[in-house]
Amino acid sequence: MTYRIGIDIGGTFTDFAMIDDATGALSFDKILTTPKDPSLAVMEGLRRLLDTTGVSISQVVSIIHGSTLVTNAVIERKGAPTGMLVTAGFRDVLNIALERRYDLYDLRMTLPEPIIDRECRAEIHERLAEDGSVLSPLDLREVEKAVQALIDEHAITALAVCFLHSFSNPSHEQEAAAHITDLFPELYVTYSADVLPFMREYERWNTAAVNAYVRPLVDRYLGRLEGSLADLGFNGAFFIMTSSGGTVTSDIARRYPVRMLESGPAAGVLMAADVGRRVGVSDLLSFDMGGTTAKGSIVRGGLPRKKYEIEVARVHEYQTGSGLPVKIPVIDMIEIGAGGGGIAELDDRGLLRVGPRSAGADPGPACYGRGGENATLSDANLTLGYYDADTFLGGTMRLDRAASERAIRSRVASKLDLDLARAAWGIHETINEDVARAFRVHASDIGFDYRRCSMVAFGGSGPAHAARIARKLRVPKVIYPRGSGVMSAIGMLVSPLSFQLARSNRVALTALTAEAFAEYFAGLQGEAEKVLFPRTENRPNLTVRRSLDMRYQGQGYELEVVLPENETPQMLFDSLPGKFAAAYRDIFSLSYLDEPIEILNWKVEVIGPSPVAADSAVTDGTSGRAAPRATRQAYFPEKGYVECPVYDRYLMSAGDYVDGPAFVEERESTCVLGYGDRATIDHHGNLVAEIGGLS
């Protein structure tokens, strides 16, 4: 028998999921993250999972790992001392940024500091023209002196090489990087055309800077983790989850650690799409709330929505433009800066807010009994009766309800002159409205009507809030998959090996031929395949997805046009004007058929075979009301505290149903159903809730 394991490190908990490839049986675990060294929690939880299930490490054929390590390093500025080589005259590109104000009316507006300080940037007298022709040659002796000075004066251990117009001709960056690596082999060198061969210097250079900044950290972390796994006796394959919803080898992750941003949440969205495909629902809202943050994403036509930019380290949590733009392939997600550990406090106006400050794993919410004194969302849910202090995490982690009540009284209730129940409900409902508002805005931005779709809810805290949020959004159905509390870890088990490559090549459509079009895409595809599978004899059957960024000539912004997988290059080329016109019309309600069109960016995604495992069947029940395990008092605004039935999900069979108000408990999460809600176990083991009160 063989097994695969997914491991997701979050800000509060580290999640584990293991699948038996023969039967499809899943096993889960969840432990507190160890912020100072996340690998400690990984190894502790892995040993516990193996001991609990009786599985030998020799039976584990692969481990897939996602982590917030890169995101946290950028936010907390805990990367390596990093230098930068730039074309002479462009030292201040990172400071100038996009010259945009994210808030026109804030006279005290602050901007994020560049990831590399100005004094750590050295100018090199080389220059390429926009078409890649050489205007001033590269002097490698000047490069050598500049790097030596950065090492001597600033003790850099990482370096980003960023020259003008390298997306058209990477030769200067490549020569400089190779020379530096030969002379200073201990230095971690990144060059921008390797990470992101896109036009627009600021975004490309910033992406390369972030990649260089975290490379030493990621290399040490992966080395430490791989060493610990080897000591445990693991000799299977080790893969890293990326932000685009695919996996890569650890060697690729070391080369492009910037692609690990949002790797864990991306796996959750991928799993939500997989759940939708299994139950025959192609349009979904993916809702993930863990201990530190909540994430939302839209699945349309069975596929997660992807984009090529993410913003990290925002100065203002909800303000687009207040962070550092990073150009990488990423599943499009909205972030709501609060999870179970979100701290409840009063803002400058005396109004209640929850998050973005989080109690994290250390000390955690007051109810964890680890010294936390702030009132958090988890404290509110425990006080409201939504969580059971004795059965949290299957009883392995007892919660302190008295500590939660003290924190809410002192930090919220007394300041707002509310009783304990109303204060706790205010904390719970604030998050519900924050999430609903974020979904409304995001769906409006992309033209998505969520009222005709379903929601997939997961994460340690998500099932406690999903039904109420769905009611606010008028979403009629919520799906809670098996193991929803560790679903991002499960998502890693269905993630294929994949790599996306994009390159700027601005060309008028009328200047292209079908042959040149096909040849350019073939070159990109070959590069992407070589990254994933360096040896051609080991390459499996691959899926190739292509897309283009196109615009009318003279415009400053482009639209992505996704190309069908089943059409030949000739068919694709002939249909490009029509496909662009349709994409333009979808956004702007009109198109200009006679205007000249140009291509800016060419994108290829190469995808390996998806992991296959048996789907464990769910036993048919009597198709009647399930029997509760117990009851407990819980607060609902319609009637106050009422006695509610509590159901053990592991004892429910297909066809069993429950009516709200009620709780359905798993080891890692609790589903909260309100008045009028009815939830039924389907034949895939999902708990499917029909939301009441929407007619």
Query: Where does the chain hold its CATH 3.30.420.40 domain(s)?
Result: 3-73+220-260
CA distances from 404 to 13, 341, 490 (A): 19, 12, 31
* Contact of 386 with 460, CB cutoff 8 Å: no
How far, in whole angstroms, is CA 403 from its chain's centroid? 33
Dihedral sign for Cα atoms in the order 328, 302, 454, 614: negative
How would you class 160 by CB atoms within 10 Å of its CB: exposed for 0-12, middle for 13-18, buried for 19 or more?
Answer: buried
The CA distance from 60 to 17, in Å, is 12
pLDDT in tens, 92-131: 999 998 888 888 888 888 888 999 999 999 999 999 999 8
Mean pLDDT, the chain, integer:
90
Query: Where does the chain hold its CATH 3.30.420.260 domain(s)?
Result: 266-338+429-494
**Location of structure tokens 């809030």:** 465
pLDDT in tens, 343-393: 999 988 889 999 888 888 789 899 999 998 999 999 999 999 999 999 888
Residue 437 predicted with pLDDT over 80: yes
**What is the reported pLDDT for 173?**
97
Tell me which residue of 297, 240, 292 sits closest to 268, measured CA to CA. 297
Domain range 3-73+220-260, CATH class: alpha beta
The CA distance from 381 to 289, in Å, is 14
Dihedral sign for Cα atoms in the order 143, 145, 151, 154: negative
Task: Quote helix, strand, coil % in the chain, to nearest 5.
Answer: 35, 25, 35
Enter the CATH code of domain 79-210. Answer: 3.40.50
CA distances from 378 to 339, 409, 412, 460 (A): 8, 14, 14, 10
Query: Where does the chain hold its CATH 3.40.50 domain(s)?
Result: 79-210
pLDDT in tens, 525-572: 998 888 888 777 667 788 889 999 999 998 888 899 989 888 877 788
Enter the CATH code of domain 266-338+429-494. Answer: 3.30.420.260
* Contact of 176 with 164, CB cutoff 8 Å: no
**What is the reported pLDDT for 537?**
67
Dihedral sign for Cα atoms in the order 644, 649, 653, 655: positive
* Contact of 229 with 198, CB cutoff 8 Å: no
The CA distance from 536 to 527, in Å, is 12
Which residue would you say has higher pLDDT here, 278 or 336? 278
The CA distance from 316 to 102, in Å, is 10
The CA distance from 132 to 190, in Å, is 20
Residue 672 predicted with pLDDT over 90: yes
Return the SS3 of 147.
Answer: helix
Q: CA-based Rg of the chain, rounded to a whole angstrom?
A: 26
The CA distance from 227 to 69, in Å, is 18
- Structure tokens of 489? 């870890």
Tell me which residue of 463, 508, 498 sits closest to 481, measured CA to CA. 463
Residue 618 predicted with pLDDT over 70: no
**What is the reported pLDDT for 112?**
86
The string of DSSP codes covering 589-658 is S---TTS-EEEEEEEEEEE-PPP--------B--SSBPPPSEEEEEEETTTEEEEEEEEEGGG--BT-EE
**Location of structure tokens 């999460």:** 669
Peptide bond into 329 cis (omega under 30): no
Q: What is the pTM of this model?
A: 0.88
Determine how β-strand 127-128 pairs with β-strand 597-607: unpaired
The CA distance from 355 to 391, in Å, is 26
The CA distance from 509 to 573, in Å, is 9
CA distances from 375 to 366, 378, 693 (A): 7, 8, 31
**What is the reported pLDDT for 36?**
82
How would you class 81 by CB atoms within 10 Å of its CB: exposed for 0-12, middle for 13-18, buried for 19 or more?
Answer: middle
How far, in whole angstroms, is CA 197 from its chain's centroid? 23
* Contact of 313 with 324, CB cutoff 8 Å: yes
pLDDT band with cut points at 50, 70 and 90 for residue 209: very high
Residue 280 predicted with pLDDT over 70: yes
* Contact of 418 with 426, CB cutoff 8 Å: yes
- DSSP E strands: which ranges in 250-363? 284-289, 294-300, 303-304, 306-307, 310-312, 324-326, 330-331, 333-336, 342-346, 352-358
